[in-house]
Amino acid sequence: MQRSRLVFWIFCAPVLCWLFLLIVLPHLDLLRMSFRGENDYGDMVWTFRNYKTFFTEPIYWLTFVRTALYAVITTFITFLLAMPVSFYIAKLARARIQGALVILLLLPFWVSELVRIYGWMILLRESGVLNFFMLKLGIVDTPIEMLYNDATMIMGLVYTSMLFMVVPLVSVMESLDDSLIEAAHDLGAGQFTIWRTIILPHCKPGITSGSIVVFMLTLGNYLTPNLMGGKNSLWFTEQIYNQFIASFNWNQGSAFGFLLLLLSSFIIWLGLRLTRQKLDEVAS
Amino acid sequence: MIRSLPRSKTYDWSFNCFILLYFTFLFAPLVVTCVLAFNDSNFPSLPWQGFTLDWFFSAGPDRIGLFHDDQNLRSILTSFQTAFFVSIFSVVVGTCASFLFEKETFRFKGALYFLMLAPLVIPGVILGISLLLASNTAGTYFDRTFGLDIDIFRPSFWLVVLGQFSFITTFVTLVVSARLRKFDHSLEEAALNLGATQLGVIWHITLKFLRPAIIGAGAVAFLMSFENFNTTLFLVGSEPTLPINLYLQVRDGSTPVINAVSLMLIVGTSLLALVNFYFTRKEQ
């Protein structure tokens, strides 16, 4: 069927505007700005100094490594927690309550991240609800501050990104044929063998897409480390924010931003490569 | 092990316990936030001091309820306006994009498609700073070359709209494309044979078929925009959206008014989510 050029350009023009003006150009500008800086006379020149600062100041690259490491840990814990939950929903729950469970599972994630974090804050802080009950029950004598440490921060990050692991896992487990598990059981396979040889291999695409999304969201998260980790959360997005808003050093901030973008793209590429998947398969 | 296989009592029992704990973990922060919005105390914490609606309706002078709190009300209005424009723009451009990628063939289609998926893997913080940089560069350029002072290039309402639009459009494109793939092309061909123009066919037949997907994508776009924090943080001017405004309040201390706002958000988004569920289920 021959289509007219006019129709093509009606579709193409807004898309090109969107992608070039709002995605390509800004990121090229980010790259350009990261190589600019003032010299000793106060003039703007091309320089590698912003990147050099990153590698020579331990506080910056340590924060970077720490952020990446904690994002990996968060992704792994999320996976461990999401696996039995999605297994229960896909394979164990009675068909009648299955739909209700899925809706219940999704509901908290429609609510703004800020509200969820705020809920955790009033639960966990020194004058919080959990401390109130623990004092009442006599478990502790004096209230404990449960906020502002790394363990709480990771818990918050796991909570925030849970959904993006559970949803792909549930859908991939629903596509697993029950008779495969039944057959393995009849032939005498134990729980562990069934998980290792049937369930996990089948779930690989779901695990990949879930892990990529969770990792990326954790790496770029600002709210949760900032509010639950407190002053010593040392998250890399906070460094970027500080450079931009507090010290107004946009060039340094751009370099940090570009490094974070590189790291996140590299990990995603690696994840896709290792499991031989394409980006659009994971996206849909 | 699964529904159809015999399981031991302990296995069932412990799995049920685990799921119960998991859902407690999911809902505890939300429930606590909602309950404490009605506590007759100046801090969002226990002990329970009686039921009150002060945090919603009190006009002052000691307690200012949500419906008399100008700052919060204004930010809610700003968020509604932002989400309104973002969902309109992203639905229009996203629909164009899905037509472009599903129905047209052209050079560099693969590359453009990859570019369209890119916002999925760019952390929101990076998107925010790149747009801030680019708009600043553009503003300086127009000011220097043409002596024009254009407001849109400064952190402002419209810059927030553009920033959110730039990544939400990708989600709209994916949702609408999925529906377009199920479209029966013989309907279009029949209409063309009967003498309809190309644009007429798109308007009367294809768009009508896509309507449920477009409405659903619009609702999701609205919610995503309403709750966006990371990108907005860097682009916001003198009119903060609700998440930004809440963040500033939470960071500097908390009053039960935040709980009242959160309660409204939880109820609002849950209703929208349930309506969305209902419609997608009816469609199937």
Q: How many CB atoms lie within 10 A of CB B153?
A: 21
Q: Is residue A15 part of a domain?
A: no
Domain of residue A86, residue span? 47-283
Distance from CA of A29 to the nearest CA of B (A): 6
Q: Is residue B193 part of a domain?
A: yes
CATH number at residue B81: 1.10.3720.10
Asked if A185 and B5 come within 8 Å (Cβ–Cβ), the reply is yes
**Is A81 an 8 Å CB contact of chain B?**
yes
- Give contacts of A 242-261 with B, CB under 8 A: 244-245, 250, 253-254, 257, 260-261
Alpha carbon distance B103, B67 (integer Å): 49
Q: Is residue B51 part of a domain?
A: no
pLDDT tens for chain B, 284 residues long, are 677 777 778 888 888 899 899 999 989 989 988 888 888 777 777 777 777 777 777 777 777 777 777 888 888 999 999 999 999 999 999 999 998 888 888 888 888 888 888 888 888 899 999 999 999 888 888 888 887 777 777 788 889 999 999 999 999 999 888 888 888 888 888 888 888 887 888 888 888 888 888 888 888 899 889 888 889 988 888 888 899 988 888 888 778 888 888 888 888 888 887 887 777 776 65
Alpha carbon distance B103, B115 (integer Å): 18
Is the C-alpha dihedral spanning B246, B248, B250, B253 positive or negative?
Answer: negative
Q: Is residue B31 part of a domain?
A: no
Q: Is residue A17 part of a domain?
A: no
Q: Is residue B22 part of a domain?
A: no
**Is A127 an 8 Å CB contact of chain B?**
yes
Q: Is residue B206 part of a domain?
A: yes
Mutate to test the interface with A, among B98, B107, B130 (most CBs of A within 10 A): B130
How many domains is chain A partitioned into structurally? 1
pLDDT digit string, tens, across residues B193-250:
888 887 888 888 888 888 888 888 888 899 889 888 889 988 888 888 899 988 888 8
Alpha carbon distance B134, B207 (integer Å): 35
The structure's pTM equals 0.86
Helix (H/G/I), strand (E/B), else coil: A46 = strand
Chain B residues in contact with A85 (beta carbon < 8 A) = 19, 22
Alpha-carbon distance values, B214 to A93, A159, B94, B167 (Å) = 33, 30, 9, 17
**Is A11 an 8 Å CB contact of chain B?**
yes
DSSP conformation letters of B227-259: H--HHHHHH--SS--HHHHHHHHHHT---HHHH
Asked if B262 and A84 come within 8 Å (Cβ–Cβ), the reply is no
B50 CB-near residues (< 8 Å, 6+ apart)? B39, B40
Distance from CA of B99 to the nearest CA of A (A): 7
Q: Is residue B214 part of a domain?
A: yes
CATH number at residue A253: 1.10.3720.10
Q: List the structure tokens of A93.
A: 């729950």
Cβ atoms B232, B179 nearer than 8 A: no
Mutate to test the interface with B, among A33, A115, A163 (most CBs of B within 10 A): A115
Domain of residue B219, residue span? 70-253
Q: List the structure tokens of A213.
A: 């999304």
Alpha carbon distance A217, A205 (integer Å): 18
Chain B residues in contact with A159 (beta carbon < 8 A) = 25-26, 29
Chain A residues in contact with B106 (beta carbon < 8 A) = 8, 12
Asked if B125 and A257 come within 8 Å (Cβ–Cβ), the reply is yes
**Is A111 an 8 Å CB contact of chain B?**
yes
How many domains is chain B partitioned into structurally? 1
B155 CB-near residues (< 8 Å, 6+ apart)? B132, B135, B234, B235, B236, B237
| Cβ–Cβ pairs < 8 A, chains A and B | 249
pLDDT digit string, tens, across residues A218-236:
988 888 898 888 777 788 8
CB nearest to B262's CB, from A115, A240, A268: A115
Helix (H/G/I), strand (E/B), else coil: A47 = coil
ipTM: 0.85
